[in-house]
Structure formats: C-alpha cells, structure tokens
Structure 1
Amino acid sequence: MMKKAFSILIILLFAITAQSEAQKLTERKVRKMFMESEIMQEHFVGFILQEETGKIVYAQHQDIHFVPASNTKLLTLYTALNILGDSIPAFKYRIEGDSLIIWGTGDPSFLHPKLDNRRTYDFLANTPHQIFMANEPDLEFEPSYWRSDLSYFPMYGNLATIKSDTTLGLFVFPEPISRYVVQDSTIISTRFNINRSKSGKELVYPKMTIPGDFQSTVPFPMDLQVTRILLEDTLKKEVNLIMKKKPSETNIYFSIPSDSLYRHMMLPSDNFIAEQILLMCSGMISDTLNVKTTIEFGLENHYKEFKNPPVWEDGSGLSRFNLFTPSTVLEVLNLIEKKIGDKGRLKSLLPEGGVSGTLRTAYQTDNGKPFVWAKTGSLKYMHLQSGWLETRKGRGYRYVFMNNNFVRPNSEVRNEMVRIMTEIHERY
C-alpha cells in the first residue's frame, strides 16, 4: 500500500514538474518563434529578452550594430534624467538696474499647446523690468527642413497653424509669422501646400486657389529676432535684443515638471523636443547650447563602460549614423529603470500598447489592461521596439526588438513583432 502511494506521489510530482516546464519560457521556445516566422527570416533581426532578475532568456545578434531610429530617445531620456532636475529650466537671467536680461536655455514648453503651464508667461508678463534677450556672438543653429528649427527660446513649439480664411485668404497663428508667408509663382504644383523656402525665411505656397478646407501646421524659421518679435507680440510689451555674454553666475527660472516634457518626447516620439532636451542639458553642464556637447558628456560619463559603446549622433534618432547594438539598448533600459526606481512612473513615460502614443493602435489590451510599455523607432526599412513586457502569469521582462533592412511595408514587420510579443504575454 505504501509502495503504491509512493508511486502515485512520484507520478503527481512528475506531472506537476512537466506542467511547470511546459509553462516556462525558455531559450528554445523563443528561438522557435523566430524560426517559424517567415517575416523574421527575411531581414536583419536583433532581439533580447531579459527576466526581471537580469537573466537573459534569449538573444540573437545582440552584439551587432543596428540603426536604432527613435530608440535613440532612450539615451536622450537617460542622459536628461542625470542632468536636469525635476523641473525644466525656462531661462537663465540677471536683473541689472531696471533691466531683466534673459539667456535662453532651449526650453520648448513655452506657449506649447500641449505643455505650457503659463508659469514662464506670467513671470515675464508681470515683471516691472525692461526685458532684454541676450544674443551671444557666433552662436547660431542650422536651419532644418525635416523638423522645427532648434532655438534658444522656442515659442509655440516653433510651429505655425495656417488655414484658409474667407476674409484673409490665409489665417496664420501666431500672427507675426504671417509676414513670412508668401506666394511664390515659380512653384509648379498640382496640390496647394505651404513649405519652407529653400533659402531665406519665407514659408511659400503656389499661385493657385486656396482650398476652403485647407489647414496645416508648419515649422517656421526661428532665430532670436523672430523670438523677439513673437515675445513682444505675446507679452504686449517691448522686448529688445542685446549682445551680452552669459556671466558665470546667473539665476535660473524653472517652468514645467521634467516628466511632462519627457512624456511628450517619448509618447508621440517628438523629434524637435528630443533635440531641445539635449540643448538644455548642454546648458547645464557648459556655457553654450550644443547637442554634441551633451552627447559627448553622455558617452564619457554614462555609456563609456558599455560592452558595445553606442555610436550616437543626435537626440531624436533621425540620423542614420546612429548605431546601437541590442545589448547596448538593454543596458540603457536597465539604467533607466534603476534611475527612476518606480514602475508606475516608468510606465507613465512610455507608450502603452493599445492605450497611448506610438503603440496605441499597434497592440490590443488584455481585458482593458496594457501589457507592453516600450519606445518605438521607425525609419524607412527599419522598425524597432524596446521596453517592458508583462505576461498573464505575472512575469515581467525587458526586451529589445530591432529590425533593419527589410523591404516589406513597415506595418507588416510591426504586426509580426506585435504577434510574437503578444504570444509571449498570453502563454507565459
């Protein structure tokens, strides 16, 4: 009788162990998912899946360099977390006699339709001092045709809203930008649109009938003179420019909570804000605003000891000269998680699958709950995701999923990534 009972116990233990192993996510099982995916066999794929404990479940091409696209913003985020405090520096200033002298810090939140809390506006509108904006010599930003211009003192996100108007022809906001909106009869086009001139500051449109439903958001050329004009119009008071080098000691006026700016960079993947964040960081560690200064600081102080130090060129990831390995991105994910130290705050800074940002339409939620929080990246023939995954069984993972050099539509590769990550969520 005892022998029979013992045999039954052994069988039960074996069955329980077998069931537990069947539910466990292993290297073999993940490899099989990729081997059985026709799409994932067609191009260059880097992937790492890491348990919360730090154990690597599966990795492929983890030390091969990929173009990271907007996964670059993960480095921008971690660098900013280490340089900027809990609030964004709006500007540096000194009061000299009856003058308020301002040095821009690159804060992109001022009068931004989704970010501004009017704190900076109220300070400037209510100051009894004459406002001077300092222009340091030989410091200029190159104009851009693929995003808003970088600037010392952004306003309205350096974007103009332009739409058809029965009286004006075109309504422009902010209004002072209307002086730069001009018709160009040399443009040959079958479609009405407004674009930046190839030279100069004009926003040009073709000589044709303006559609009644036309509306567009257009980056406008930005420098300190444009800033002065816009600020004067907004504050309804005189603003002047002054050539004055920033002294070693200045006051700093702060605007919005830093997390709200980081969230806006990460969720819609805002390239302009990513670059401005690096400018702000440089102003806190040096005397000038320069993206390269922050990148060099980050490479020396945060990423130098990485197994594969990143080749890092910009803050947004639009440059194809950026090159990261999957293991590099995973190290950054771990650093971000450790630095933030709060899962709720961490998740709030990232797109949520099926809920928000660039993952809102990619994933379905599970009974209304998201299970992926990740930064996406997308350029032509490239698509990536890196972040955190939770399974139905309550297990947590970090993952890096990098796809380069495919020739299918991005949507097909994205859908296959989503299918694989969803299968891991549902089964394990």
Structure 2
Amino acid sequence: MFIAMKKRTLSFLTLIILFIPTLKAQIDVDLRAKFEHAEDLKHHFYGFSLYDADSGRFIFGINEEKHLMPASNTKIFTVLAALHILSDSIPGLQYVERGDSLIFWGTGDPTFLHNRLDSHKVYDFLKRSGKHLYYVPTQPKEPFYRNGWAMEDYDEYYQPELSSFPIYGNVATFRAPQSGSLSVVPALFQELIHVREQSSNRANFALSRKFDTNVFEMSSINVKRGYVNEKPFKYSDSLFLQLLVDTLKKEVKMIDYEKPSDTHILYSNSRNEMLREMMLPSDNFMAEQFQMMCSFVKYGEFDTRRIRSDMQQEYYTHFTDKIDLQDGSGLSIYNLVTPRSVVELLALLQSKVADEAVLHRLFPAGGVDGTIKSAYQLDQGQPFVWAKTGTLNSAYCQSGYILTRNGRRLIFSFLNNNFVTAPRTIRKEMVAIITHIRQNY
C-alpha cells in the first residue's frame, strides 16, 4: 500500500511539474497580448517581471533585464536594510551619565518632536532629567543631500535636509488659522516670515524659503484660512540647540566629548510601525533617516554609502542583475535597477518575514490605504495587491505582491521611465494589467 501511495504521490508531483511550463506558456501568450494592446505603454521605456512565489519560478517578463530608474521603489531596499540591521525598536537617543551631567548624542531617529510620529519617550527623558544636559553633535560622513537629488527642490516638503539628530522632521509647519494670518511651528521661525518686496496683496499666495537662510517669504498676505504647508528649514547644530532649548524650557549646552564605551540607548518607536509610516505615504525623509539609523547601529557613525555597499556585498551581488543605488528614498535620478532584481528583492523579503500579514502591512494595499488606495478597486470585497509606488518626473513604478482569485501568490515589478504623458495614464494601464492577473491566474 505504501508503494502504491508513493506512486500516486510521484504521479501528482509529475503533473504539477508538467503543468507549470504549460501555465507559463499560456500566461506568456495572454500577457504579451495585453501589453501589445496597452497603447499608453508604447511610447516610453518600461520593464515588467512576474514571479510565482509558490513554485519559485519567473513566469513572465518584458524587458525585465533592463536597468530603469525605480523612484520610490528604492524604499523597498531600505526596508530590507532596516529589517536586517535594526532591532524591533528604533534607537531614539544615545547617552551617558557622568555625575550630575547627562551627555547625549543623536541616532538619526526622524521622529523626535515630529508632529505625527513622536512617541515623546526621548522628549520626556530629557525633560524629566534633573541633570545638566550636554549635547554632542555628530557630523555625518556625507552632505545633507544625496547624489542625484534636485537642488531646486530644497524647500519642497518631500526633501528635508538629513541630519544625525532631526527635530520636528526638519520642517517648519505653516498654518493659516484665519485669512491673512500665518503661524508656524516651531514658533522660533515666526519672526523670519517676511512679505516679498514689491509684492501685490492681490497676488496669489505662495510661500518659499531662501536657499541659504531660514527666511521664509510670502508672495502676498492673501493667505486663505485653512492653508497648511511644510517647508524644510536650513539645519545646523546651533539651530537644533535653539529649538531644543525652546521646547524643553531648560538649559542645554553643546560640547565636544569623545564617546565612551559605556553609553546607553533609549529606544523610541516600533521599527515596523515606522517602516509602515515610511512606505504608505512614501516618506523620503524617513527613508533616508532609516539608513542613517542603520549606519549608526552597525558602525557607530553616519555613513549610508557604507550601508549600501555592505548590503550590496551581502545580498545584491546574489541577484541576477547589478544594483546601483545612491540613496535610500528614490529621489536620486542616478538609481538604477531592473524589474527582475526588484522581484528578487521582494521574494527575499517574503522569505525573511514569515507572517505574510506582517509583510503586507508594510506595503500600501490597493483599494485600502497608502499611495494605491484610489488606484485599485477591491475584488470580491478584498484587496489583492500590496505594492510600493514610485513617482518622479517621467517615472512611475509599482512593485509588490498579488494574490490571485485562485489563491496563487505572485510577485511583480512594473517600472516605467521617460514618458511625457500624465502619470495617471500610465497608472491606468498598469492597474488594468495587474487586475487582469488577479482575475485570471
């Protein structure tokens, strides 16, 4: 009986093995026709790769070996680095006590006094301390902008300056509680709001920051009630100290002090919750600061180029295609990856996060939340795609996980570059193809 059962088992496995190439051929014919009829994909460069996570096989690809700019799909690489290097909680403060003194260093934590994400653990620790406070600044080994960033975006909300000890997310938040009145947090910047010379009170309202100072200029006083905007401020250690003293309402001195070996770490937030906060709205600042924290934990210094190099040696050299990353957020136009390598990255993440629900929660869910909430409709009342988007000028990308109606678990990467049409037209074609895969495979 055992022999008979074994024969039946072998026969069943043989059928599966024979079925997979047949399915692959059917998918190839079907999807190739879908791409050929996608008119809005014909005028730019794109690549697509599809992988069956259950069988461990690539089942379809078009230009999957071509290097393309991934935009914010780069953040998926940052997720891998964070899961690999950081513990369950992110480091919020490094400190040592010496007599009546508390000496502390930044860790790269982006959540300190952040208007949404601050756990208040670091703030409360410093506020309640009865010791004299001394801050030791640490200079990162890189400039506050990464290679390939657009310098003209210096005062856009999505590109704050990077630092070893961020405060308020390194942005000033402006609000108009009533028409013609503008307030700002931190309040320290209130006196630095000016009306632009030769401006007209009838002109449309606009707010900008001068490149090399923290002077913010209004184009007019015609600001409407309910206006909200975030502008990065020009970061410096002295400004950080001013802001810290202003909020703690106690004296803090800045000193040069060699870091001893017996320092302690105060943890501030859940790593996975912060990764979710990075991925769903595609927060560039948080992505870069995650790499800063990884560098701090691994080397005791801030050198994100070294993190990317080490991740390359440990993981990416085993991918089919070369990976070239200049940052952790995807703002750099120098980042280049292939769809096939992004799929391999997603498969690697799937192997590292055993609980699929935990993994999916790190990604926007189509029809539910994040950057693809409005892109997809629920199918049979359920989300079926969990994917990271990536958007830059002439770049729109999606990469992630698909659950088909038949229960098949698929991984995909769809990268689009160099189009001159509106991104929404590209997104429409992508959504149609991903939805077709959901409903037919």
Whether the 8 Å contact between 1:136 and 1:245 is mirrored in structure 2 is no
Matching residue of 1:47? 48
Matching residue of 2:188? 176
1:83–1:169 distance in 2 versus 1, CA, 3 Å: same
Match of 2:42, as an amino acid? Q
CA distance in 2, matches of 1:167, 1:22: 62
My pick for the range that moved more, 368-377 or 244-253, is 244-253
1:138–1:257 distance in 2 versus 1, CA, 3 Å: closer
- Cα RMSD (Å) of the superposition? 2.5
Match of 1:43, as an amino acid? H
Matching residue of 1:88? 90
1:343–1:198 distance in 2 versus 1, CA, 3 Å: same
Matching residue of 1:97? 99
Matching residue of 1:36? 37
Q: 1:154 aligns with which of 158, 166, 177?
A: 166
CA distance in 1, matches of 2:257, 2:104: 10
Q: State how 1:154-233 maps to structure 2 within 5 Å.
A: 154-164=166-176, 169-185=181-197, 190-206=203-219, 208-233=221-246
Matching residue of 1:246? 259
Match of 2:43, as an amino acid? E
Q: TM-score, normalised by structure 2?
A: 0.87
* Deviations 1:336-387 (CA, angstroms, capped at 9, x unpaired): 1111121010011000001110000100011331000001111121111100
* Deviations 1:135-166 (CA, angstroms, capped at 9, x unpaired): 24686843744411212222222222222356
1:83–1:205 distance in 2 versus 1, CA, 3 Å: same
Q: TM-score, normalised by structure 1?
A: 0.89
**Paired residue total:** 410
1:111–1:199 distance in 2 versus 1, CA, 3 Å: closer
* Deviations 1:25-54 (CA, angstroms, capped at 9, x unpaired): 622212121122222232212111111221
* Deviations 1:187-213 (CA, angstroms, capped at 9, x unpaired): 799432221212222222235444445
3-state SS in 2 of match to 1:26: helix
Match of 1:32, as an amino acid? A
Matching residue of 1:401? 414
1:409–1:169 distance in 2 versus 1, CA, 3 Å: closer
Whether the 8 Å contact between 1:136 and 1:243 is mirrored in structure 2 is no
Q: 1:352 aligns with which of 347, 365, 372?
A: 365
CA distance in 1, matches of 2:226, 2:237: 33
Match of 2:429, as an amino acid? E
Matching residue of 1:6? none
1:22–1:214 distance in 2 versus 1, CA, 3 Å: closer
Matching residue of 1:112? 114
Report % sequence identity: 38
* Deviations 1:285-314 (CA, angstroms, capped at 9, x unpaired): 223213322222222222123221211101
1:100–1:427 distance in 2 versus 1, CA, 3 Å: same
Q: 2:427 aligns with which of 414, 417, 423?
A: 414
Match of 2:316, as an amino acid? Y
Q: 2:78 aligns with which of 72, 76, 79?
A: 76
CA distance in 2, matches of 1:42, 1:223: 45
Match of 2:168, as an amino acid? Y
My pick for the range that moved more, 146-155 or 315-324, is 146-155
Whether the 8 Å contact between 1:23 and 1:427 is mirrored in structure 2 is no
Matching residue of 1:122? 124
Whether the 8 Å contact between 1:47 and 1:60 is mirrored in structure 2 is yes
CA distance in 1, matches of 2:198, 2:292: 37
CA distance in 1, matches of 2:167, 2:26: 50
Whether the 8 Å contact between 1:203 and 1:220 is mirrored in structure 2 is no
Whether the 8 Å contact between 2:179 and 2:223 is mirrored in structure 1 is no
3-state SS in 2 of match to 1:399: strand
Match of 1:219, as an amino acid? P
Q: Which runs of 5+ in 2 are unaligned?
A: 1-17, 146-153
Report the CA distance between 1:22 and its aligned residue: 9.2
Whether the 8 Å contact between 1:177 and 1:220 is mirrored in structure 2 is no
Report the CA distance between 1:183 and its aligned residue: 3.4
Report the CA distance between 1:167 and its aligned residue: 11
My pick for the range that moved more, 50-59 or 132-141, is 132-141
Match of 1:202, as an amino acid? V
Match of 1:96, as an amino acid? R
CA distance in 1, matches of 2:27, 2:365: 26
Whether the 8 Å contact between 2:288 and 2:329 is mirrored in structure 1 is yes
